[in-house]
Amino acid sequence: MHLNLDYDMDNDILSVTFIHGVTDPNYHYVSNVRISNNHTPTPIDKDYTFQPSKNIWTYTYDFSTFPAVKHDILEIVATCSLDGAIVKELHVGVYHWEGKGSFSSVIAPTIGGTVIVFAIIAIPWLNKKIRKRK
C-alpha cells in the first residue's frame, strides 16, 4: 500500500490517494483511516467495508472544524483488512524532498546508469566503425 497526501489550505481539505492493488476490493481493502493533527483534540477516524477501486482511488477529509495551519503535522494511518497498516506524515504547507538522501545522491546513480547504458550501446557501434577503417 502507498499513500499520496495533499492538503488544500484554501479549503481545509486533505486528499489521500491510495495505491493498494487487490483482486477483490470487497474482501481485501483499506478498512480504516485514522488522521491525527498535532494540535487538534480528536482525530478523524473512518471505517470502511470495501475499497472503491481494485488499485487507485482518493478519499477526501474535511478539516474545516479544526483547520490545519502551516507546519502542522498530520499523521495518517491506513489499515488494510488483511495486511497490517501504513503510517505517513504530512507537514502542512511545507514542501520538501521526500526521497532518502539529497538530490545529488539520487541524480548521481541516474546519470551513472545512463552512462553505462550508453556505453553498452556505443562500444559495439564504435568497434564496428573502427573495424571498417582497417
| Mean confidence (pLDDT) of the chain | 87
Q: Kindly report whether the global pTM for this prediction surpasses the value 0.95.
A: no
Cα–Cα distance for residue pair 48/57, rounded to 1 Å: 13
Per-residue model confidence as pLDDT tens digits over 45-93: 999 999 999 999 999 999 988 899 999 999 999 999 998 999 999 999 8
